[in-house]
A and B are shown apart, each in its own frame.
Chain A
């Protein structure tokens, strides 16, 4: 995973709340067996609407999505994140995220930035007025900056450290393999295992 420290880019205003992962990537595109290619179908069904903001040429090269509250609710599909990163997005801002989406974004170096509703509205107005406006996401300073606006944000310190160093969770956990083995040695021996128990009838 590439380290994330500071990102400067254009932002796109998505004035919708409750953007579920079925909208970000409709389920019929989940038949793929690899990570590549999901970007093609980002917000696929909303893109049928010519007025949909991502069809606006002024926002086509945006790398920051500013959405309403409860972004990424619903299905656990990590392809919702792959669709965003596949289209070049580096950060998503919302007052509140679906829990699973939030974790998936962190796993892929897509920064989920929690900002309150007032800041979200202020950003929407700024970028609608000037779509070419440079928006800065500064993970080190935990701050979003755009024109004269500076909005602080909170993020778990461990998650931030991992992002800033581009660290992969599995490698970190592998340092604790001995502890895992120790835990396993203390599990109740009658805990279930998954091998077939019932003959096929």
Chain B
């Protein structure tokens, strides 16, 4: 069959197709966490339904957990986590709870375990499920009603997405990372530019990325409005997967790799939309506003709202500057932060920690700045500790934490206070996202580390 990567994966999962109806799509992997699943299990119980494929379902605790040792203090949060444990036990769903060596952010553990594989369909009640698309899977976030639907039937009724190619060619300059690519993409197409699309990231700059960097790119597809982002599997993908706990082995491995090699967009296939970026022109990117599309190269200044031609963008920028307490014309490099957060499903993997540690080694976190380093999973933490990265961070004055979503979202104890400002490697700079009244600048791990040292938004080149 001729088509795009997305169309090929879609077609191979159609259970039922009928005129005028959405396709019924089979789901290969369903990931669960404590926040968006309790009402889905309640729905099953109410209707007397079971979980069709607990063996294709995996749960962990990530959003609502503390990243310091000890129990959950907030009783409502504790109830939510205990509810997940009870639901998993009742319905036979495997669970990696707090304290387990496999626990971690749901989008970090799936790939790390080798559960996310090319050509699969992956869903989770979390919009950053797009992360798994880095393996050439169709992976997207779903609501709780859809979680219930997948639990009950292992399928979802869906209308096909439109297809968008984001071509990034050329070579990234030194100090420019996957995070900067995706922030530049979002700034270019806007927070709604990808709505209704699945994005395929292509081009020499994407092919040159490691798997972890590809995950960073796909992770933020949703911030451009696209429910899913994908990258065609290649030798980098296969090398990452080989010998992972859930990857096929022996003859099954060879057969799987042969099948995965066919997962490419054909030369004569067409996308509904194409976007081009020159990697050589990219620079470290930071956001200045309250949505991920409001970003600029670090060398720029806070924009004047009046400079936006579109009326909606003008109003949005004016409101953002007020919330962020920024003045038009201020160089971004002069913006001082209170907090630096290194972690999340976007940038909480071992390569992210290594990159930041490389910058911060032998230096100190600036006076008055708090730096939180939160590994994306317990395995990432153990790996980092075996490499001595934890000591690099703590010697510099940063806090070394347990795995979880942490300050990416202000629902667990790690939050900004009202008026505090962060440089954060997470994915959303929405008002209050990291705590009520908190102000967020999205950055790469390299920029986060340099910012921690200087106390103002900075890149390693500024040190």
Closest to B249 in A: A190
- Shortest CB–CB separation between residue A32 and chain B, in angstroms? 7
**Taking the nearest CB of chain A, how far is it from the CB of B449, in angstroms?**
26
Q: Which of A181-201 contact B (CB under 8 A)?
A: 183-184, 187-188, 190-198, 200-201
Best-buried of B38, B54, B74, B225 by chain A (most CB within 10 Å): B225
Q: Does B125 contact A (CB under 8 A)?
A: yes
B80 at the interface (CB under 8 A from A): yes
Residues of B within 8 A of A33 (CB): 38-39, 79-80, 83
Q: A26-B432, A169-B157 are in contact. Are A69 and B192 (CB under 8 A)?
A: yes
- Asked if A78 and B145 make an inter-chain contact with CB atoms under 8 angstroms apart, the answer reads yes
Among the 9-residue stretches B113-121, B163-171, B332-340, B391-399, the one with 4 or more Cβ atoms under 8 Å from chain A is B113-121
Least Cβ distance of A12 to chain B in Å? 18
Q: Is the CB of B21 within 8 A of A158?
A: yes
Q: How far is the CA of A200 from the CA of B245 in the complex (A)?
A: 12
Q: Are B432 and A193 in contact (CB under 8 A)?
A: no
The reply to whether A170 and B152 form a contact with Cβ atoms under 8 Å apart is yes
Q: Using an 8 Å CB-CB cutoff, how does the interface string of B3-14 with A read, 1 for contact, 0 for none?
A: 000000000000
Q: Does A148 contact B (CB under 8 A)?
A: no
- Asked whether B191 lies within 8 Å of A73 as measured between CB atoms, the reply is yes
A22 B428 Cβ-Cβ under 8 A: yes
Q: Is A107 an interface residue (CB 8 A)?
A: yes
Interface residues of A in 32-59 (CB under 8 A from B): 32-35, 45
Give complex CA distance A74, B192 in Å.
10
CA distance A66 to B435 in the complex (A): 27
- Judge if B377 is at the interface, Cβ distance under 8 Å: no
Give chain B residues whose Cβ lies under 8 Å from the Cβ of A26: 410, 432, 436
Q: Is the pair B79, A104 in contact by a Cβ cutoff of 8 Å?
A: no
Distance in angstroms between the alpha carbons of A51 and B221 in the assembled complex: 34
Q: Which B residue's beta carbon lies closest to that of A157?
A: B20
List the A side residues contacting B245 at CB < 8 Å: 197-198
Interface residue tally of chain A, by bracket? 35 or more
Distance A142 CA – B63 CA, assembled complex (angstroms): 40
Q: How far is B164's CA from A61's CA once the two chains are assembled, in angstroms?
A: 42
B153 A197 Cβ-Cβ under 8 A: no
Which of B28, B38, B142, B430 interacts with A100 by CB under 8 Å? B142
* B residues near A98, Cβ cutoff 8 Å: 195, 225
Measured CB to CB, the closest approach of chain A to B407, in angstroms, equals 11
Choose the segment among B94-102, B344-352, B356-364, B366-374 that binds chain A (4+ C-beta atoms closer than 8 Å).
B94-102
User: In the docked arrangement, what's the CA distance between A173 and B39, Å?
Assistant: 19
Tell me if A76 is interfacial: C-beta within 8 Å of chain B.
Answer: yes
Give the Cβ gap from B157 to chain A, nearest Cβ, in Å.
6
B56 at the interface (CB under 8 A from A): yes
Instruction: Establish whether residues B127 and A195, one from each chain, have CB atoms under 8 Å apart when the complex forms.
Output: no
Check B276 for interface membership: any CB of A closer than 8 A.
Answer: no
Contact A190 B256 (CB under 8 A): yes
Contacts of B431 in A (CB 8 A): 22-23, 45
**CB of A39 to closest CB in B, whole Å:** 15
Chain A 149-177 interface residues, beta-carbon cutoff 8 Å to B: 156-158, 169-170, 172-174, 176-177
Which B residues are CB-close (under 8 A) to A81?
A: 143
A22-B428, A33-B79, A104-B143 in contact; A180/B15 too (CB < 8 A)?
Answer: yes
Q: State whether B39 touches A107 (Cβ < 8 A).
A: no
**Chain A nearest CB, measured from B121 CB (Å):** 11
Tell yes or no: B35 within 8 A of A by CB.
yes
On whether the beta carbons of A28 and B155 are closer than 8 Å, the reply is no
CB distance from B164 to the nearest CB of A (A): 13
Q: Which residues on B sit within 8 Å (CB–CB) of A174?
A: 152-153
Interface status of B227 (Cβ within 8 A of chain A) = yes
Which chain A residues numbered 68 to 89 have a C-beta less than 8 Å away from chain B?
68-70, 73-78, 81
Name which residue of chain B comes closest to A190, CB basis.
B252
Interface residues in B286-316 (C-beta closer than 8 Å to A): 291, 312-313, 315-316
Give min CB distance, A1 to chain B, whole Å: 10
Given the complex of chains A and B, what is the CA–CA distance between A172 and B79 in angstroms?
33
Query: Does chain B have a CB within 8 A of A125?
Result: no
In the complex, whether B29 has a CB less than 8 A from a CB of chain A is yes
Q: Which residues of A contact B35 (CB under 8 A)?
A: 30-31, 77
With the chains together, A85 CA to B435 CA distance in Å?
Answer: 25
| Chain B, 122-166, CB within 8 A of any chain A CB | 125-127, 141-146, 148-149, 152-155, 157, 159
* B39/A34 in contact, CB under 8 A: yes
Determine whether A27 belongs to the interface, using a CB cutoff of 8 Å to chain B.
yes
Q: List chain A residues, Cβ under 8 A from B54.
A: 194
B16 interface residue, CB < 8 Å from A? yes
Q: Which of B143, B195, B223, B248 contacts A190 (CB 8 A)?
A: B248
Q: Give A108 to B143 CA distance when docked, in angstroms.
A: 11
Q: A192 vs B112: C-alpha distance in the bound complex, in angstroms?
A: 13
Q: Are A31's CB and B64's CB within 8 A? A: yes
Known: A17-B313, A70-B192. 12 other contacts (CB 8 A): A16-B319, A18-B192, A20-B428, A28-B411, A76-B36, A99-B196, A180-B153, A180-B155, A195-B55, A196-B94, A198-B101, A198-B102
Ordered by A's residue number, 9 sampled pairs between the chains whose C-beta atoms are within 8 Å are A18-B191, A23-B431, A69-B312, A70-B225, A76-B126, A103-B146, A176-B24, A180-B52, A183-B15
**A interface residue numbers (CB < 8 A to B):** 15-18, 20, 22-23, 26-28, 30-35, 45, 68-70, 73-78, 81, 96-100, 103-104, 107-108, 117, 156-158, 169-170, 172-174, 176-177, 179-180, 183-184, 187-188, 190-198, 200-201
